[in-house]
Each structure stands twice: as structure tokens, then as C-alpha cells.
């Protein structure tokens, strides 16, 4: 699944901002706004208007003079860029505090990521329902999951169970893992691993406090 | 607190990997490893050895031929780079699932980030202790905090309370916020805002599943 470095690739920082643009435009749509200027959008997000115009221009998306961007078509365009025209089915493995919090995280549902099952090994949790999703016995995963049914697994087990859990999911056809533990899962072959990087944000803040790191908009 | 763009700045991707190097080297130290090669370290982390050598060379850190990096001095060097030679004092505002999970997140403590207080407005939570940290009444924050005592506040309130909570913290001398809500806090002036970007990781996985995004090591 490796790809070669592509000179035309969209900058990482641009891709990082797109979900925030999308969520803010969703909010504006809910409030009934038909248009939004890059300047106004920038004020909500703490990003310069020029940066927003540059980011969106990579995808051939441009605003209208005086009106700015039409919110509905901008939402549709970003949805397409982010690959959200399809639904993604997820499982959460580990119904501790993080797992429970993620099960009720509204951003997932808004963007077409649906949590189908939660797994745990704790008998007190199995059979309960968290934010509308039932908790199943991880040891009976084969009886619950159809192969290829699940696109993404969120790993929120204790650290020392994370690798084992991910490997068992992989045997059951899951290839993408969103890792909320501090375990390293990158030794799993032919899988997409994304670390939640909780510690990264705090390091960045520490750096900024010491004056070594510029503010967000210059990142 | 704005800074101009610095041509000599360390790449964002390098800074993003450093905490992961640090946590892995900490684990190796705990296991008693005196040396680690960039290749071996790379295997743990799913990063190429050449990339690790390049990342560390930015800071003038080099391994020894045949031995690789001395784990103890490498840990010290990264600790200095990350600004972790001092302790940072934190508060968590919002003792829901995310707040509770973060209070017990071991990565913070390992790296010198200490959660001093938790705040909530729920009478059933005030006075309880979560992972050794007492929960205080947010409405009495002025009586609890000394000005300048707290370096970083984690915001894990409901979305519609986040901005208000952060502003009140700012009035009490907190200037750095780690935002775990989907609220936008970037309108707060003269503050460092870091979004936990939970949705970002999931978008990235969705992209990768559709073959549009390279694997981690090429990021």
C-alpha cells in the first residue's frame, strides 16, 4: 500500500484544516447562512482568509466576488475532497472512558462515520448500550462481524492489549486502525494506522509557551 | 504572540514524530536497553531509519557507528528539544468521559505534564477524586487558582460551554488551551489554542482507504 512521493500532493497542513472548514460550514448551514466570505470563515477558525482561499484553490474551489463561498456547494465540495460521499462503518474496541467518549462524539456521525459495534472483555459492560451502540464480547468477534463489513476500528483498550486486539481485528478483515492508546501498532503489516497523538498537542503547547513555536496560522 | 515565518524552522512532520520517538525510547530505557539503532527504532514506529536520522540531525543529534543511539542521552536530548526540562501544570475543565480519560492518561505524567485540578459544575462530581486529582467547582475557580499557577488548560466541557470556560480561565491567567471539544476557540486573543483534532485522524484513514493518501512514513 506504499505510494511514491507525489510532487503535486496537497500540503499536509491543508488537509489538516479541511475537516475544520467542513465542520464550521456545517454549523453555518444549520444556522441558515447561504454565503460565507473567506475572511469571515477565517475569523471563526483563527486562520487567515488568504490561507483559506489558497487551501480551497488546490481543489479548484473558488468563491464569488463580494459574496464569497456558497455554503451548500462548498460543503459538498469539501465532502467530496474528504471522501465522505460514502459511509464508513466503525467498531470501537475498549469501552473505557475514551471508548465511551468516542462512541458519543458527534463529529463522527455528522461526517458519515457510523459506530456499528463496541467490543469489550468486561462482563459488566457486555450487553450494555453506549450512545445507542451495543457492547459485544470481544472474544466472540468472529460471530459478530462479517468479513469486510467494517472499514475502521478505533482502538481504546489498555495499552498492553492494543496490538493483540488490532491483530485479531485484522484477521477479521479490518485494515484501518485509529489508535487512541500509547501502544505502537505500526508493526502490523498492510494496515493503515493513525495515532490519535494526544501527547503531540500538549508538546506543541509547551513549545509555544516557551516561545519556540509560532501560532497556529503560521503552521 | 505572532512570529514571522522562519526559513530554518524544523518541519512540522519532524516535530510531530519527536514525542513518539521520546515515548518509545522511554519504553526501551525501562526495558534496560542502552543502545538503539535508527533501523530498530524505525521498526517499532513504522518510520524509516533514514527518516529518523534526518529528524534527529536537525538538532545535532547523531548516533554512533555500529551502536546507534545511546538511549539515555537520546532521551535527554529529545526532552530538551521538546522543552520538557520544566514541569507544566495543567487543569482539566469538564469531568465527562474525555476529561476522566485524560486525567488518567499516562503519557502526560511521563512527560512532565501534571494535572493539578479538575473542574466541573456538576454537584455529583465536585469533591470526588479522579486518578488522584480532586474535582473542584468551576464557579469557584478564582478561589482555587493562583494567577499564573497553571500553564495549560484542557477543555473537555460540552461544546456549547467551551468558549465561555476558556475565556474565564484566561481571566484567571491561563494562556494555553488544549481543546478536546468540537467548539472553535480560536477567537480568543493572545492565547495558544491546540485542537485535539479527533475528526482529523478519521478523515485521514478514510482517505487512505480510498487510496488517496500515502502511508504514514511518507507524510
Q: Using CB atoms within 10 A of its CB, is residue A40 exposed (0-12), middle (13-18) or buried (19+)?
A: middle
Compute CA B208 distance to the chain's CA centroid, rounded to the nearest angstrom.
Answer: 25
> What are the φ/ψ torsions at residue B86 (nearest 5 degrees)?
-110, 165
Coil, strand or helix at A190:
coil
pTM: 0.77
Q: How far apart are CA A11 and CA A13, in angstroms?
A: 5
Who wins on pLDDT, B134 or B80?
B134
Query: Looking at residues B107-130, what average pLDDT do you find?
Result: 92
pLDDT of residue A137: 98
pLDDT of residue B217: 40
pLDDT of residue B212: 57
A167 Cβ neighbours under 8 A, 6+ residues apart: A188
Give residue B8's pLDDT band: very low, low, confident or very high (50, 70, 90): low
Q: Do A206 and B43 touch (CB under 8 A)?
A: no
- Tell me whether B7 touches chain A (CB under 8 Å): no
pLDDT of B116 > 60? The answer is: yes
Closest CB to B201: pick one of A43, A194, A212. A194
B143 Cβ neighbours under 8 A, 6+ residues apart: none
Per-residue tens of pLDDT for chain A, all 219 residues: 434 445 567 787 888 888 889 888 988 998 999 999 999 999 888 889 999 999 999 888 888 888 899 999 999 998 888 877 888 999 999 999 889 989 988 778 878 899 999 999 999 999 999 999 999 999 999 999 998 899 999 999 998 999 999 999 999 999 999 999 878 898 888 899 988 878 778 888 887 887 755 444 434
Q: Do B215 and A2 touch (CB under 8 A)?
A: yes
| Residue contacts between A and B (CB atoms, under 8 Å) | 217
Q: Among B67, B24, B68, B69, which residue's Cα sits nearest to residue B45?
A: B24
DSSP A112: T
The DSSP annotation for chain B comes to ------TTPPPHHHHHHHHHHHHHHHHHHHTT--EE-HHHHHHHHT--HHHHHHHHHTTT--PBTTTBEEHHHHHHHHHHHTTTTS-EEEEEE--SHHHHHHHT-HHHHHTTEEEEEEEES-TTTTT-EETTEEEEEGGGHHHHPPTT--SEEEE-S-GGGHHHHHHHHHHTT--EEEE-SSS--TTSTT-EEEE--HHHHHHHHHHHHTT-S--GGG-
pLDDT of residue B32: 93
Q: Which of residues 121-180 of A touch B (CB under 8 A)?
A: 151-152, 159, 175-178
Q: Do A152 and B176 touch (CB under 8 A)?
A: no
Whether A186 contacts A193, CB under 8 Å: yes
Who wins on pLDDT, A136 or B86?
A136
Who wins on pLDDT, B17 or B51?
B51
All residues of chain B having their beta carbon less than 8 Å from the beta carbon of residue A219 are: 12
What is the least distance, in Å, from the CA of A52 to any CA of chain B?
15
Residues comprising chain A, all counted: 219
Closest CB to A202: pick one of B108, B159, B203. B108
- Tell me whether B101 touches chain A (CB under 8 Å): yes
Q: How far apart are CA A167 and CA A170, in angstroms?
A: 5
pLDDT of residue A189: 87
3-state SS record for A46-101: CCCHHHHHHHHHCCCCCCECCCEEEHHHHHHHHHHHCCCCCCEEEEEECCCHHHHH
pLDDT averaged over every residue in chain B? 87
Q: Do A205 and B178 touch (CB under 8 A)?
A: yes
Other Cβ atoms closer than 10 A to A72:
14
Give residue B187's pLDDT band: very low, low, confident or very high (50, 70, 90): confident
pLDDT of residue B117: 97
Q: Which three cell numbers stand for residue A190?
A: 498492510
Q: How far apart are CA A108 and CA A170, in angstroms?
A: 22
Q: Do B186 and A212 touch (CB under 8 A)?
A: no
Q: Using CB atoms within 10 A of its CB, is residue A169 exposed (0-12), middle (13-18) or buried (19+)?
A: buried
Whether A213 contacts A205, CB under 8 Å: no
* % of chain B residues with pLDDT over 90: 51
pLDDT of B144 > 60? The answer is: yes
Q: Which of residues 180-219 of A touch B (CB under 8 A)?
A: 182, 184, 186-187, 192-210, 212-219
The DSSP annotation for A156-177 comes to -S-GGGHHHHHHHHHHTT--EE
* % of chain B residues with pLDDT over 70: 93
pLDDT of B219 > 50? The answer is: no
All residues of chain B having their beta carbon less than 8 Å from the beta carbon of residue A207 are: 15, 82-83
Other Cβ atoms closer than 10 A to A193:
21
pLDDT of residue A82: 81
Q: Which three cell numbers stand for residue A93?
A: 474496541
Side-chain-side CA neighbours of residue A38 (13 Å): 17
All residues of chain B having their beta carbon less than 8 Å from the beta carbon of residue A216 are: 186, 193-194
- Angle (deg, nearest 10), helices A71-81 and A12-30: 140
pLDDT in tens, B46-63: 889 999 999 999 888 888
pLDDT of B102 > 80? The answer is: yes
Give residue B208's pLDDT band: very low, low, confident or very high (50, 70, 90): confident
All residues of chain A having their beta carbon less than 8 Å from the beta carbon of residue B40 are: none
Amino acid at each position: 500500500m506504499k505510494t511514491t512521493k507525489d510532487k503535486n500532493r496537497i500540503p499536509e497542513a491543508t488537509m489538516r484544516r479541511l475537516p475544520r472548514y467542513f465542520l464550521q460550514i456545517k454549523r453555518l448551514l444549520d444556522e441558515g447562512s447561504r454565503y460565507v466570505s473567506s475572511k469571515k470563515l477565517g475569523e471563526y477558525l483563527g486562520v487567515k482568509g488568504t490561507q483559506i482561499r489558497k487551501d480551497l484553490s488546490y481543489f479548484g474551489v473558488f468563491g464569488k466576488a463580494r459574496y464569497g463561498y456558497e455554503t451548500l456547494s462548498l460543503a459538498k465540495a469539501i465532502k467530496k475532497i474528504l471522501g465522505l460521499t460514502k459511509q464508513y462503518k466503525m467498531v470501537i474496541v475498549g469501552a473505557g472512558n475514551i471508548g465511551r467518549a468516542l462512541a458519543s462524539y458527534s463529529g463522527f456521525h455528522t461526517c458519515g462515520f457510523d459506530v456499528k459495534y463496541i467490543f469489550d472483555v468486561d462482563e459488566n459492560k457486555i450487553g450494555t448500550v453506549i450512545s445507542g451502540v451495543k457492547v459485544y464480547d470481544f472474544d466472540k468477534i468472529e460471530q459478530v462481524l462479517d468479513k469486510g463489513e467494517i472499514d475502521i476500528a478505533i482502538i481504546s483498550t489498555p495499552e498492553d492489549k492494543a496490538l493483540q486486539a488490532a491483530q485479531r481485528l485484522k484477521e477479521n478483515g479490518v485494515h484501518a486502525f485509529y489508535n487512541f492508546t500509547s501502544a505502537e501498532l505500526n508493526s502490523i503489516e498492510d494496515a493503515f494506522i493513525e495515532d490519535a497523538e494526544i501527547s503531540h498537542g500538549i508538546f506543541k503547547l509547551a513549545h509555544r509557551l516557551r516561545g519556540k513555536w509560532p501560532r497556529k496560522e503560521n503552521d
